[in-house]
Amino acid sequence: NNTVVRFMNPLEGDVIIEDMVKGRVVINNRELDDLIIARTDGTPTYNLTVVVDDWDMKMTHIIRGDDHLNNTPRQINILKALGAELPVYAHVPMILGDDGKRLSKRHGAVSVLEYKENGFLPEALINYLVRLSWSHGDQEIFSLEEMIELFDACDVNTSASAFNTEKLLWLNQYYIKSKDPAELAEMLQSFIHESYYNTNEGPDLVEVMKVFQERCSTLVDLAEEIRFLYDDFDAYDEKQAKKQFKEATLPILASLKHQYEALDDWSAEAIHHVVENTVNTLEVGFGKVGQPLRLAVTGHGKSPSIDITLALLGKEKTLRRLERAINFIKA
């Protein structure tokens, strides 16, 4: 059987869609064809199955992209033919990439799970998406409760919105920074596992979060940022090593190591006092002491204040890494 089944569309009258976003949309039935609802092999087509599915699940509202607007009058006529109650429709504007084209995989992550795997918090993604084509004054940050109270689909803009990754990262950083440290530490566990290091031997992860959570825009970055506290790094940042690890650095690192070996009180205050003492004794600037020390213990040139960093790292690892840096310079 090489025949298809078509829906006999009405020839007279209009299909009126009272769209929550677009407003009233009127399509004359003469503009609509008798669409195929079953293929030659008997399988139903999209426009029939989606209607039956929505009807079967008793959908009251159909909220979807405005690229589906052309299908809606056809689906309404099928629903009427079935004697079904019509749902309320809302056709929201499309999301475009930075290049003005429809958002797709070539722009990066497009599924919610991908954003989760990339270290985005659900609150940040929801907050960002709700602000794409809707606003409430100049407010940027919305709690879930505020969204529920303030959001109205009737206030959604009709024009397409451009997806701005930088804005999403800014929001994500805000929510990471605002997160309860204990909750954040729990959320970070899966990302730490993916990075193949163990936090059982090292500083308390909750205490680490209190120091580092304001420094990163994704959980992936955060897991990588704190790695040095638990896992020995393979190499120093090449650019920083050329800049900081010079012959003149040797007496500075040697002095620091000697003083830290004698330190019984491994606190941020005591650690800072050693740095100050080295600066004054060797008559060099703080940068000449702090930066080589930071590179020696972290492997790169960025970290929170050096006293807090060393306090978290612990005395044993600090001394071991200072020794490694001294040997690296000598070599």
Q: Kindly state whether residues 135 and 167 are assigned to the same domain.
A: yes
pLDDT for 43 equals 96
Tell which of 155, 173, 191 closes a domain.
Answer: 173
- Residues found in the chain: 331
**Distance between CA 109 and CA 115 in Å, rounded?**
6
Q: Kindly state whether residues 244 and 311 are assigned to the same domain.
A: yes
Q: Kindly state whether residues 164 and 245 are assigned to the same domain.
A: no
Residues paired with residue 89 on neighbouring β-strands, in sequence order: 62
105 counts as catalytic:
yes
3-class secondary-structure state, position 37: strand
Q: Kindly state whether residues 242 and 317 are assigned to the same domain.
A: yes
Is 97 inside any structural domain?
no
3-class secondary-structure state, position 126: helix
Q: Kindly state whether residues 114 and 32 are assigned to the same domain.
A: no
Contact criterion met (CB below 8 Å) for 193 and 130: no
pLDDT for 92 equals 93
Is 45 inside any structural domain?
yes
Q: Kindly state whether residues 214 and 252 are assigned to the same domain.
A: no
Distances 309 to 138, 263, 268, 272, 314 between C-alpha atoms, Å: 38, 16, 8, 11, 9
pLDDT for 109 equals 61
Is 161 inside any structural domain?
yes
pLDDT in tens, 160-173: 888 888 999 999 99
Is residue 287 predicted with pLDDT exceeding 80? yes
Q: Kindly state whether residues 250 and 326 are assigned to the same domain.
A: yes
- Domains held by the chain: number: 4
**Distance between CA 310 and CA 325 in Å, rounded?**
15
- Hey, how many other C-beta atoms are within 10 angstroms of the C-beta on 322? 22
- Hey, how many other C-beta atoms are within 10 angstroms of the C-beta on 159? 7
Give the closest residue to 53 by CA, choosing from 70, 78, 16: 78
Tell which of 30, 60, 92 closes a domain.
Answer: 92
Q: Domain range spanning residue 323?
A: 238-330
Encoded tokens for 278: 């080295």
State residue 105 phi and psi, 5-degree precision: -60, -30
Is 99 inside any structural domain?
no
Q: Kindly state whether residues 310 and 293 are assigned to the same domain.
A: yes
Q: Kindly state whether residues 130 and 151 are assigned to the same domain.
A: yes
**Distance between CA 168 and CA 119 in Å, rounded?**
12
| pLDDT (mean) for 93-112 | 79
Tell which of 32, 67, 92 closes a domain.
Answer: 92
pLDDT in tens, 25-37: 999 999 999 999 9
Among 58, 101, 105, 177, which one carries the catalytic annotation?
Answer: 105
Q: Kindly state whether residues 110 and 65 are assigned to the same domain.
A: no
